[in-house]
Structure formats: structure tokens, C-alpha cells
Structure 1
Amino acid sequence: MIDPGAPDFDHTPAARERPRFDYAPADDAPPAVSIVTPLFNPGPELEETAESVFRQSFQQWEWIIVDDGSTNPVSRARIEAQQARDPRVRVLRHPENRGLSAARNTAVSAARAAYVQQLDGDDLLEPTAVEKSLWCLESRPEFAFAKGYCVGFGAAHYLWRRGFHEGDAFLRENLVEPAAMIRRDVYLAIGGHDERIRDGLEDWDFWLRAANHGHWGVTIPEFLNWYRRRPGPHRGWSNLDDRRRRRAFRRDLRRKYPRLWRSGLPRPAGADATLRDEVPWTNRLRKTKPRLLVLVPWLTAGGADKFNLDLVTELAGRGWEVTVAATQDGDQSWLPAFASQTPDVFVLPHFLRPADYPRFLRYLTVSRGVDAVVLSHSLLAYLALPYLRAHCPGVAFVDYCHVVEEDGTEGGFPRLVVDCQGLLDLNIVSSSYLKQWLVGRGADASMIEVCHTNVDVGAWRPDPAAGAALRAEVGLEDGVALIVYAARLCPQKRPLVFAETMRRLRDAGVSFVALVAGDGPDRPALRAFVRRHGLEGRVRLLGPQPPHRVRRLLQAADVFFLPSRYEGISVGLFEAMASGVCVVGTDVGGQRELVTPDCGVLLPVTGDDRDAEAYARALHELLGDPERRRSLGACGRARVSEQFRREQMGDRLVTLLAEARRRCETAPRLALPDGLARALAAQAVAGVRSSPITGAIDPYHTSWRTLAYFAIRNLLLPYYRFALARGWLWPARMKDALKSALDDSRAARGGALGRLRFHPTVRFLASLPAVRAWRRRA
């Protein structure tokens, strides 16, 4: 899949360098999709098109090629070669050239499947394009066709994000090329393509004719097809190339479909469907290697997400075929990175309604013949576990947990680990600290294994030359210390504690520059603090940085500083130590398992102001002692190189997955009756729908106080942001106190924070209608 941030237009779906998955059918199931391709004297590009068809993740297809009167013997031989390649390929022939519209209509009339995927003879499909489009239309019956974003390649390079989601914009211009999936019954009902149109834009007429009959399409927000551009004008497409012909064509469309210009295009709005249990296709794939399904919340920048990517990379390198499914909406900016390791990557919100998440995960497990499923901080995965367990016997289910969330949620996901342990074959955690935490809350210690996240010491390594170049690039003079703070700018990472520490260092006369690499909700507050205290010359906010740039920052750094409120073991600490940099952080979670006194400094969390003072003292001492910094950095590099290499994590995971499979075979876990499993899956869907509101603080929705917190937060959010933008620190402290006061466990223990919930202001806010309604629902 192309990376929009660094597009490589030569790395097509047919490229040999693409990661491979053994996409081949395991049986002779009837086709669920008919791929239709009109051809007239095709060139060698047909081989690439065919390669993209045979590499599809969905293998229950038939490929109908219509030879529209080809006259070139070489071209005809190319077509015959595809027919001989696989019995699922059918070739129909026109005795003479009748045009694209007629060829497509012939193919669709002969199609055996209920869905038709249009594909021209020189264009390409991403490996998961057919599967995602098919499931999109299955999940959204109100739409008649589906299509993703488009990559232009060949003579012109571009990324095209326009599509059916723009609706009435189609009255001005045609926004998509033909490579869409269409319901066959809709195609036939509206009469197919107009065979009188042979000079181009017949697809524009088709989309508007469908709209005139009340049908419209949906856009999948991923780059799923590649449209080949050729040099010069389009051969024989005067409706497209000639401006006057194009305007005349548009006038003809307006005369043919006047209702669309009066009332606009259809806006299908299907009701949010209830959970359905049937799986309409099996798509059983041939299996020659062990297979793993990894369930994650999203594919975005973060420490846990970096581990998920490393997990996929390590297992793929050890002969596993890995499928990845992301279950929550988000920016998904790391989708291309995951797709660079395995083509089998699915972001469920991009093409499914939440009601279809459980059955799609069940379908994936059965289709791929999965040996093991790893849950990694996905709320839906935990809640759907009884359903998956009931329908996928013989599959080992394992979770990997990173961190205890010290924010009033009784631990966050680790709490779910305790509750769901009876449905899992093995628990894997990132630190011994987390294992002890789970055991202290009733978890079975014999079910829990530790596997540290570790780091790629080959990629993250000292490089004095690169470090010197970076220092010169940012204009650092000799003798000026460089502090790097690389993290998501959010309350967990305490960016304002970082900023206050920098202010105290500046006031102490220390010569330094601090570079901040990252983004997040607290970035405006950090920027305002820097301006308010005149730190612009000392603290530079770089924004989000790609991994290769963070590596260069660490290679130039004197100290890596991260004053987190809570952590499992920070990925940033692993990367900094591997880069030979002295680290200063917080003594929380399992960080002491990585950072020993001879390779860094860890300080306890005592309170923001006291912590900033302690950090400033520690950094002042380190910046004044270059020899100690070098010693700490060298010891840190040696420690991770010996004990925390990424390949050691990969070896450990393979061993633990084998153990999980053994336990699944010898001591299978409880499988619930189908009816109960389905009811719990419906609850899982309800949990996903509400998780954007409540998931951040209480993913298992146990407390009305949690809901009250969010009602109060939403009410006061504009004032809170205004205060943070002015650099005021007290609103953040008040927010934390309010959150703690509304938490069940802390309130039950009493004390000053517990009594805060009886304060008249809090009682007034808790009496608001929205809060009362949420409390009744809870």
C-alpha cells in the first residue's frame, strides 16, 4: 500500500518487492465476486493487472475477460495465456470492437456472482481491495457501489482522494474512474453502461444514471486501486480530452437527468444495523505456514503501536503469515508501515459498521486458518472474546498488555486482563511489575508470562557523524547541551512538567537547547508556556517526526528526558539507550527493569512542582559532567544490546505462542453457548459505539461518576482550553482532582479528594440533565 507521506509510484501492487501472503483458494467454492475486464489489443501491462488479480486476499472470484474484437495476434495470445492460467478465468469474445460499455455489459450479463468488480486491462488493485469493497457493501446495504481512493501512476503521478462521498460534486465533473465494485442487480436494473457512448466518460453517465434511479456509492478511505496514466491525450476519448466536448457532454447529462440538478444526488442513510451472525462467504485460503491474527485499536504513532509493528515484523521474518485488524477509528497514519510487512491489514471502521465487527473477525479467523489470535489493547477484542471463542474452536487466544493506567480507571486494560483471564490461553505482559500488579488483583500467575518490548539495536545506534550533522543543522554551538523530549504531548507524558523543568534549568544559568518531537492535545498548552516564560530560544517544538528523524535527534542528544506520569516501559527509553544516550525518566511501572543506576536516572512521582525541581537538579548535574553522561550512555547501549534486542523479543514470542497453542490443545478454555456468545458480542458492539465518550477513562463502563466526569468536561472544555492557552497550570490540576474525585474506588476510600464529590459546585454539575440521564443509563 502506498505511503501518502512518502509515495513510491514504482512500488505497485504487482511489484516483486511487495510483502507476500499465500493467497490461494483452499477449495472450489462458487464465486462471490465477478471481476470484469474489457480488453482490446492489450499490451504487456495485462500481466501486471493479472498479477494484482491473483494476489487478491479474497479468492472466491471469477475473472471475466471480454476480448472486444482484438486484432493483434500477440494481444490475443496474452488473453489466452490468462485463460490457461486458472480455471476461474473466463474469456468472452466480440467478433468486432463494440467499445468499453458493450464489453462491460457483456461481462456483467454473464457474471455468476452478486457483486461485480470493474477493472480495466492496464490498471491494478491493492491485495485487499476486493475483500474490503465486498464487505463494505455487505455491511452497508443502502449503497449500490463502493470504491477506495486512487493512485495515478505511469506517465503521471498523483494521489486521488475524491470520490462518492462528495455527492453533488459529480454534477460538475466525474470524480472517479471505473474501478468500483457494483451490485450486479443494480447494474442490470438501470440498464448497464450506455453502449452509444464510445468517446469516453461513459462511467460518468453510469454513476448519474444510477443516482437517477435512487442509487449511490460509498468511498473507502484507503488507496485501493492504481490507475495507469499514459503520455499524451487519451486515445479515442475526445469527451475527456476536448474541453468543448466535455462541456457538451455535461449539458447532455443535465438534459437526461434533470431531477438530479433540481434535487441533488441520493444521500443513503441506512439505519445502524443490529448484530448479524451469518458469514456470507468462507474464502478459505490455502495454508502452508503458521498464521497469526493481531487485534489492535489503531495503526497510529505510539509506544504500544510501535511494539505491534515490531511484533508483525519479527513474526513475518520467522515464517509466520500475519493478519492485522484495527478496531477503532483514528488517524491510522501507520497503515502503510504495517502494510510494508504484511498485505493482510484491515482497519474495520474504514469499511464496516460496528455491528459487523464481530462476524468479520470470526470470518478472518476461519478464512485464514488462524493458529493464534493476539489481543493488544483493543477494547472490542476483549469484549468480543466470548463470541470468537465460541465460533473458533482450536484457536489459541493470547493478549499482550503494556501498562497500568494510573488515571483513576483501576488500571485500564490490565483490569480487563484479570476479568477475561478465564477465556485466554495465555497472558503476556511487558514487565514483571505488570505481572505482579495482575497477580495482586486476583490473576493466576501461572497464566502470565513476561516479554519485554525491546528495540532494534541495528536501527537505533550511536552515530557521531549523524549527530554532529544534526547539531549543525539546528545551529547548536559547541558546548551547548542538547536535551531531547520525544513523546506524545498528552497528560501521561507531562509536557508541562518538562517545560517547568526547562524553565528552572534556564534560570539556573545552564547552557542548553531542548528539542521536542511529538504532537498531541497538550501541544497548545506547551507552546503557550514556552512563550509566556520566554523559552523560545531554549525549547523548540518540532511537531511530529518520522522515526528516521527521531533517530537522528537521539544520535545528537546529550540527554533524553521523559517525565511520564505512568508507563509500562517507555519505548522512548529503549530507543535512547540503544542510541547511547543518557536517560532521565520516572520510576514508574517496569522502567527500573530496563534503566539501572549505571545507565540512567529514574525519579519517583511526587507532584508536578516537586518533580520539576528534582528533575532540574538531576539534569543540572548531568549536563555539568560530560564524562558521567558518556559512561551512562555507553552502559545503556551495552545493556539493551545484551538483554533487550528486538530479535530476542521475537524469539520469546514464538516460544510463548507455541505454549499457548499447546495449552489450547491440552486444556481448552471455556466456550460459551452460541446464543450467549452472540448476546455478549452485541454488548461488545455497544461498548465500541460508546468508547469515544467513555473509553479513555473507563473502558468497561462501571461507574456513573465516569460519565459525570465527561459531562462536566464537555461543559467546561472551552474555558479549560482558553486557560491552558494562556499558560495557566491550575486548570489541569483541578481537572485531575475532579477526575480522581469522581472515581469509584478513590471516592469510596474518602479523604480530601473523596470528599470533593460532595462540594456544592460538583453536586450542582452532577445535577445537570445530561449527567442525570447518563447516571440512569449506567
Structure 2
Amino acid sequence: MIDPRAPDYENTPVSPRRPRFSYAPADATALPVVSIVTPYYNTGAVFHETARSILGQSLQQWEWIIVNDASTDPEALAVLAEYRGRDPRIRVIDHEANRGPGAARNTGYRAARAEYVLQMDSDDLLEPTAIDKMAWFLETHPNAAIVNSWSVAFGAKEYLWPVGFERGNELLMENLAVGRALVRKSAHQNAGGFDESIRGGMEDWDFWLRCADQGLWGVTIPEYLEWYRRRADHSDRWKDWDGAEAQRRFQQRLRQRYPRLYEQGVPRVEPRWPRPLDPVRADPPFENRLAKRGPRLLLIVPWMVMGGADKFNLDLLEQLTRRGWEITVVATLPSDHPWMPEFARYTPDIFAPANFLPVCEHPVFLRYLIESRQPDVVLLSNSEFGYRVLPFLRAHCPGPAWVDFCHSEQPHWKEGGYPRYAIANQDFLDLNLVASQHLKNWMVTRGADPQQIEVVYINVDPDHWAPQPAVRERVRGELGVSGELPVILFVGRLHPEKQPRVLVQTLLELKRRGSAFRALLAGDGPDRPWIEEFLRSNALEAEVTLLGAVPPKQIREYYWASDLLFLPSQCEGIALTMYEALAAGLPVVGADVGGQRELGTPDCTILLPRSDEVTEIQQYANELEGLLRDPARRAAMGQAGRTRICAQFSLDRMGERMAAMLALARQRKEALPKPAIPRRFAQEAAVQAVELARLECLADELWVQRTAVQRQAAVAAQTGQSVAELIHAMLPEVAREEVNYIESSRAWRLVQRVKRSPVYRWLADVRFGPGWDREDPYEDPRKRLLRIVNSRSYRTLQALKQTTLYRWYARRKHGPEFRRPLFGDGKR
């Protein structure tokens, strides 16, 4: 999986550096869910890479139709011969004469047995889960005819391509949607197939518009699931793809061929909005039984972001895969999952269902994964949704053992947070694992069965964190830290439970007392805007550096560059950052909460009891002030902490303990079977889980919108903020929504139709010069919105909408609450 933050274009899906999962069909004769169609013409040895990426798909119920378009190269024919008869799922069809890629694809479509057809070129690659995700998308979005994904270009040119069908009418001007796509066979038939006369390239662009002309359109999954092999110059093979005159002539032919699209625009696939009490299907739409060679785990997490629980999940993957386990990871919350590439270092079998499924399909998708992968154990790690659908999954999937892992209680969230869910679901779980003895005691006092709870300390790899003096000096130099100036480090989410406000107020108190220091804050979260303003208003920006979310590979360098860890948490189990700091030789000043004292002893940590905010700030400042002035004491505490980690809390010990606990869970499942769960109850549990997810998502969205509007309105009212300043302060997502609202309005479409008329285009060419109507598909939506609201067309429309006649009409049609323009007449 590509990491967008640091792309490695050589680590392709078939690279030996990639982790493997033994994807193989339990029954190679099962009916295909997907037919893969690949035109083949003199491809050669590179085809082996394409084949490996197909054979290594997580969805194994496929057939692969390779259409040999009369290849002439002996080496290419020899390569193709290796796949004739190799696998009962592979068929090679030979054209007697070369007819071009469009004809080859049409031949493949006619031979396809499945309703879903994957268009795959003979030199490109797919991520292992690509077909799985695309097939589930089409199965759950009946109004979509096509699905593709973001693309990675590799080879002669390297770049990321995070765009696709969502660009709508922009595809009339440029082929922005990649051709490696899953298409309904019926859509191909209704569109009349590929134009076989197009032999110079870009036949896929024509096919997209053919589909659009029949009211058929696609959606792009926001993940990099396909790799497109780039040549230095494609025009040597595809004459119409020259980026110049031939390509412009091709676009003109499309305009002549599909005039209705260029007048009215392409269709749109409306999103499937969740409804109250959405029905949840019980049975998966298709099977995908995989053969099994060793132990497997299904890990259900909320997301893949920076955090202690998430780092433990990564460490668990590393430990178990070293011991021969194959692991499937499912993240149940909507997120951009910035740590997904880190998880992909250990397993390719990773799914974020919110990227390709409506939430009402999440329960049955989890059932599908369990029945497909046949895990020995299903482990829930901080997933509310996982707990809520547990009755549904357990009722339908009695095979695996069911385990959860909790890190800490959360007194101010849902009466204890995840451990409360663990107590409530003990009847559905075979084993509860917790990160501290403190948490086990907390659960037992609230009614949990102590015989079902085991403690597993999350631990850390002392070798990985061993101090590196040379790196320390380099990083301190990069940060501008002079001499032996002590550095205070905070690592964690900028969230109220970590008390970042107490943190920065303590730092301000240290500055007032005259202490010299530098502070590094690694992490992000909802409190960041408040912290940024606090640092500005109190002149702390020279002493405090906000690092934002830091990748795991980089975070340890900040530990090595620091002198102590400060962690004034509201609640913890045992903070992973405490393990890391002690392993890196840093003393820790923090809160005496949760199980912190099970790890931190007085010779290596200073843990203070919780109190009111003012008292905590003074007490933390007192302890930090003493440590900042005593480097010898800091060094002694750091050495004591590292010695303790090496002796009792190594990561290998955690791996051994977890492997033993998973085996224990299997034993308990057999020896102490749980009562059967009634199917009707299980089904209703799934419906209610989906309903709660819908309501939580709606509440979050409304809160964000409310906060953003209030903030923008307040700033504008106080400062007389201009439209340009207001737009610049917007989130790009908010600006894009506003652009979409304007451009989809009937009035704006009418204006654009006028601008496409020959008379207007002639006048505009004379006044503004050729190319006046070209648009940058990568333009920042805020800049695009500003251009629109400052345009004469927009101001004219808004002036018309302020007239008495229009307002009377709008109230008659839309009611008294019809939407007002966000920016008025655009003049201010």
C-alpha cells in the first residue's frame, strides 16, 4: 500500500518487500463473482507482474479472460503460453487478426460469466484487496454502473492520482477517471460496448461518455487500489494521446459525438444516505471461501490513527505475524486513516468499510470476512461498532473465539467507555484482555467475572528505543535547540482526556518562574486551535513547537532529542508513551491515574494525584522546575526506567503473552461454550448498531457545521471580514460543497449553457483570448469559490434573486425557509 505522505513507487503490490497473505480459493471451480478481462498484445515478461497481482487478490472467486489480440512477438507468445491451462479460472481467447484494445475488451465482455467485469490492462497492477472492495461497492450501490479507485502511476513517470468520477463534467474536457475499473456487464451492453474503431488510445474515455449518454456513471473509491505503469511517451503507441493537437482533435470528436452531455452535463450517482432503522441484510451477497494454512486473526479497530491503542495494535500485528499468524484488519469508523500504510507493513488484508460501503452493510461485510478468512480468533480493540454488532456476528459465525482488549476506563465518556462495553458483553465474549491490573479491578467492582479477565501489559521494544546520541544532536540542531537546553516532550492526542490545556498552562508557569526549556508537542486533535491561540496570546511560540501528527518512524527521534516526558492525563490505563519514554531513557512526569504505578516506580517517574486544574498546574510546575535544573537526577531516573523496561516489559514478552491468551480463548470456547444467540435478537442488534452509527455521524456533522458557521459569523461580524478572507478561512471540504451547490443550481447551469453558445465563445475568444474556458482540475476549491463569487455572472444572479418578484416566486416554490446565498451579492 502506498503511503501518500512518503510515496515509495518501487514498493509495488508485487514487491518482495510487501507482506503476504495466503489468498487461495477453497474451491477453484466455484462460480466467479467477477470476470477479469485483459487485452494482450506483445506485452512480454512484465505480464508476470500483472498475473501475480491478479493471482494474489483477496477475492478469489474470479475468472480471468485474457484476449490475445494476435500478438506477433515470440517472447510475448511464450509468456502467454505459461498461463494456458495453468489455472481452471484462466481462459485465453485468441483473435485471428489484430483488432485493437476496444475489440479485445468487447470479446472479453461477451465471454464473461459474471455480472461484474474488471477491465485490467496487461502491464498494470492491483492492490490485493482491490477487487474485493470494488465488487462489494457495486453490490451495495445499485445506482452505480462503474467503480474504480485512486491510482498510483509508476515506471517512467511517478505520481499519485487522487481523482475520478466525482469530478463530473470535468471528464468532458479530460479523461480523469482511470480505466482499471469494475463495470456492470449490463452497463457495457446498454452503452453498446467499446468503439472498436478507436485504435489510437483513449477508448476508455469514449466508453465513459458512452455510458454517461445512457444515464450510467461511476464512483471512485478514495483509496490507491491500482497501479498504472507509465511509459516515457504514450504517443509512440497511442497516437491520439499526445497531450497536444491529436488529443484536442479527439476531444472535439467526443463533443460532436455526445452533444447532449456537453450541453446538459454527465449524470450523477447520488450517494446512498442512511435512513432511520435501515434494514440490515443477514447473508452476504456472495461467498469467497479461502483455503487456510495457519492461524488467523480478525482485528476490529475504530481507526488507524496516531495513538497509544493504535500503536499497540501495530505492535501486536508485528508480534503475531512473526509467529506465523495471518491478520485481517477492519476499521469501523469513517476516517482518512493516516496510519493505514503502517498497518500494511504487516498485512495486506486491510479494510475501511466506510470508504466503499454504506453503514447498513457493515455488519454483513464483517460476517463475510469471517466466513471467508475463517479466523481462529476475532479481537475487538476499542471499537464501539464491534461491540454493538457482536450478537449478530456471534449468532452467524460460531467458529472463532471472541476476545476484546481494553486499555483504560474513561470516566467522562459513556460511564467508563470501552471497559463498560466489555462488561456488558461478557456473555458474548470468550475472554477479556486488559492492559493493567487496575483496569481488571475496576471492571470486577462493576460486576465483571474476574475469571474471564486476563492482564496483558502492552510493553515496548527496548532495542528499538535505545538512545542514539548522534541522532539526538542532529535533531536538536534541526530544531534549533542550543547546547544542553532541556527539552520537554508531550506525545498524544490534543484531546481533553490528555489535558493539553493543563500542559501548556504549566509551560507558561515555568516560563514565568524563569525556567529555560524547549517543549515539543507531538500529536493533533480537537484542542489544537485553542492551543495555537494560547501560545500566540501568551508569547510561548518560541518555547513550544507543535509538531502535529508524527509518523511512528520519526517519533522516536523526538524522544531521543528530549530530556523528559510530560503527560498530565485526565485518565490512562498505562500510557504507551510512558513505556516509550522509559525505554528511551527519559524520566516521566505525569498523572497518577489508572495503572501508571504498575509500570512507573519512584526511581524513574514522578506521578501526581489528580486535583483541580489550578492545583495541578502548580504541582506539575514544581516538579518540572526541579528536574529542569538537575540534569544528573534526570539522567539517573532515565537509566533506572530503561533498566526496568529491559528486565520486565519487553515487546517480545507481550507477544508471547498475547499468543498464549489467544490459545486460552480457543480453549475456553471449547470448554465453556456460550449460549446460542437467537437470530431475531441478533438481527435487531445489528439494526440498532447501524442506527446508533447513523445518529452519531449526524450529530458529529451537525456539531462541526454549527461550530464552523458560528466561528465564521463571529469573526466576520467583529472584523468586517471580506468575502475573500472568509473563503480563505474555510476548510477545503466546506468550500467544495459550496462550489458544488452553486454549480449544480439551475441558474448557474443556464449561465454556463449561454457561455457554451457559439456567439458567446466567439466574443470571449476576442476579449479574453483562446483558452479562457480552461479550468485547472487541481485548483484549490477555495480559490474556485472566490472566482465564482467575484464573477459578474454570480453577482448578476444574486442581484436578480434579491428582487421582490424572485423572492415571491422562491417562497411560493420552496417555502419561507428557502436557502439564502452564503455570500450575498459578493461585493463585500
**Could you tell me which amino acid in structure 1 is paired with residue 238 of structure 2?**
W
Match of 1:40 in 2: 41
**Could you tell me which amino acid in structure 1 is paired with residue 593 of structure 2?**
V
2:471 aligned counterpart, secondary structure: helix
Match of 1:683 in 2: 688
- Bigger shift: 302-311 or 267-276? 267-276
Contact 1:13 1:126 in 2 (8 A): yes
1:135 aligned counterpart, secondary structure: helix
Kindly indicate whether residue 295 of structure 2 is the aligned counterpart of residue 290 of structure 1.
yes
In structure 2, what is the Cα distance between the partners aligned to 1:610 and 1:176? 59
TM-score normalised to the size of structure 1?
A: 0.89
Contact 2:31 2:61 in 1 (8 A): yes
TM-aligned CA deviation for residue 218 of structure 1: 1.0
One of 552, 556, 571 as aligned partner of 1:566: 571
| 1:711–1:628 distance in 2 versus 1, CA, 3 Å | closer
**Could you tell me which amino acid in structure 2 is paired with residue 25 of structure 1?**
P
1:221 aligned counterpart, secondary structure: strand
**Could you tell me which amino acid in structure 2 is paired with residue 237 of structure 1?**
W
- Bigger shift: 473-482 or 651-660? 473-482
Which digits, 9 at most, give the CA deviation of each residue in 1:488-524, with x for residues without a partner?
A: 1121111221111111111212121112222222112
1:210-221 aligned at under 5 Å gives the runs 210-221=211-222
One of 464, 489, 493 as aligned partner of 1:488: 493
TM-aligned CA deviation for residue 30 of structure 1: 1.0
Match of 1:25 in 2: 25
Contact 1:394 1:664 in 2 (8 A): no
| 1:212–1:447 distance in 2 versus 1, CA, 3 Å | same
TM-aligned CA deviation for residue 719 of structure 1: 9.6
- Bigger shift: 413-422 or 255-264? 255-264
| 1:405–1:271 distance in 2 versus 1, CA, 3 Å | closer
In structure 1, what is the Cα distance between the partners aligned to 2:672 and 2:616? 49
In structure 2, what is the Cα distance between the partners aligned to 1:176 and 1:128? 20
2:291 aligned counterpart, secondary structure: coil
In structure 1, what is the Cα distance between the partners aligned to 2:72 and 2:460? 59
Match of 1:438 in 2: 443
| 1:495–1:719 distance in 2 versus 1, CA, 3 Å | farther
1:492 aligned counterpart, secondary structure: helix
2:85 aligned counterpart, secondary structure: helix
Root mean square deviation of aligned Cα: 2.1
One of 397, 403, 420 as aligned partner of 2:402: 397
TM-aligned CA deviation for residue 242 of structure 1: 5.3
Match of 1:56 in 2: 57
1:53-452 aligned at under 5 Å gives the runs 53-241=54-242, 243-269=244-270, 270=272, 272=274, 274-452=279-457
TM-aligned CA deviation for residue 97 of structure 1: 0.3
1:9 aligned counterpart, secondary structure: coil
| 1:693–1:629 distance in 2 versus 1, CA, 3 Å | farther
Match of 2:544 in 1: 539
TM-aligned CA deviation for residue 271 of structure 1: 5.6
2:314 aligned counterpart, secondary structure: helix
Question: Can you give the 5+ residue segments of structure 2 that lack an aligned partner in the other structure?
Answer: 720-828
In structure 2, what is the Cα distance between the partners aligned to 1:141 and 1:721? 43
Which digits, 9 at most, give the CA deviation of each residue in 1:595-629, with x for residues without a partner?
A: 11111101111011110100000011112222211
In structure 2, what is the Cα distance between the partners aligned to 1:547 and 1:236? 44
In structure 2, what is the Cα distance between the partners aligned to 1:338 and 1:189? 41
TM-aligned CA deviation for residue 720 of structure 1: 13
**Could you tell me which amino acid in structure 2 is paired with residue 447 of structure 1?**
Q
Match of 2:458 in 1: 453
One of 591, 594, 598 as aligned partner of 1:593: 598
| 1:543–1:279 distance in 2 versus 1, CA, 3 Å | closer
Which digits, 9 at most, give the CA deviation of each residue in 1:357-410, with x for residues without a partner?
A: 011100100101111100011111101000100111121110011111121521
Which digits, 9 at most, give the CA deviation of each residue in 1:216-258, with x for residues without a partner?
A: 1111111111111112343331211152222222222122222
Match of 1:4 in 2: 4
In structure 2, what is the Cα distance between the partners aligned to 1:340 and 1:252? 46
TM-aligned CA deviation for residue 646 of structure 1: 1.3
| 1:712–1:84 distance in 2 versus 1, CA, 3 Å | closer
1:591-670 aligned at under 5 Å gives the runs 591-670=596-675
2:300 aligned counterpart, secondary structure: strand
TM-aligned CA deviation for residue 280 of structure 1: 2.2
In structure 2, what is the Cα distance between the partners aligned to 1:18 and 1:453? 26
1:688-703 aligned at under 5 Å gives the runs 688-692=693-697
Contact 1:587 1:604 in 2 (8 A): yes
Which digits, 9 at most, give the CA deviation of each residue in 1:711-763, with x for residues without a partner?
A: 999699649998xx99xxxxxxxxxxxxxxxxxxxxxxxxxxxxxxxxxxxxx
**Could you tell me which amino acid in structure 2 is paired with residue 648 of structure 1?**
R
**Could you tell me which amino acid in structure 2 is paired with residue 629 of structure 1?**
R
Which digits, 9 at most, give the CA deviation of each residue in 1:181-205, with x for residues without a partner?
A: 0011111121110101111111011
Contact 1:149 1:224 in 2 (8 A): yes
TM-aligned CA deviation for residue 303 of structure 1: 1.1
1:239 aligned counterpart, secondary structure: coil
Contact 1:13 1:52 in 2 (8 A): yes
TM-aligned CA deviation for residue 313 of structure 1: 1.4
Contact 2:38 2:67 in 1 (8 A): yes
User: How many residue pairs are counted as aligned between the two chains?
Assistant: 712
TM-score normalised to the size of structure 2?
A: 0.84
Question: Can you give the 5+ residue segments of structure 1 that lack an aligned partner in the other structure?
Answer: 697-706, 727-778
Contact 1:394 1:665 in 2 (8 A): no
1:83 aligned counterpart, secondary structure: coil
In structure 2, what is the Cα distance between the partners aligned to 1:147 and 1:368? 24
TM-aligned CA deviation for residue 337 of structure 1: 0.8
Match of 2:514 in 1: 509
Which digits, 9 at most, give the CA deviation of each residue in 1:70-116, with x for residues without a partner?
A: 11222111111012321211000001100000000001100111110
In structure 1, what is the Cα distance between the partners aligned to 2:373 and 2:710? 46
| 1:92–1:716 distance in 2 versus 1, CA, 3 Å | closer
Which digits, 9 at most, give the CA deviation of each residue in 1:677-718, with x for residues without a partner?
A: 11211111112112235689xxxxxxxxxx9xx799969964
2:521 aligned counterpart, secondary structure: strand
**Could you tell me which amino acid in structure 1 is paired with residue 331 of structure 2?**
A
Match of 2:562 in 1: 557
2:354 aligned counterpart, secondary structure: helix
Which digits, 9 at most, give the CA deviation of each residue in 1:518-567, with x for residues without a partner?
A: 22221121122222222222222222222233211111211111111111
Contact 2:306 2:549 in 1 (8 A): no
In structure 2, what is the Cα distance between the partners aligned to 1:18 and 1:538? 42
**Could you tell me which amino acid in structure 2 is paired with residue 377 of structure 1?**
N
Contact 2:171 2:177 in 1 (8 A): no
Which digits, 9 at most, give the CA deviation of each residue in 1:329-367, with x for residues without a partner?
A: 012001111111100000010111111101110010010
Match of 2:587 in 1: 582
| 1:5–1:394 distance in 2 versus 1, CA, 3 Å | same
**Could you tell me which amino acid in structure 2 is paired with residue 17 of structure 1?**
R
1:610 aligned counterpart, secondary structure: helix
| 1:519–1:443 distance in 2 versus 1, CA, 3 Å | same
- Bigger shift: 385-394 or 97-106? 385-394
**Could you tell me which amino acid in structure 1 is paired with residue 291 of structure 2?**
R
Contact 2:219 2:269 in 1 (8 A): no
| 1:654–1:596 distance in 2 versus 1, CA, 3 Å | same
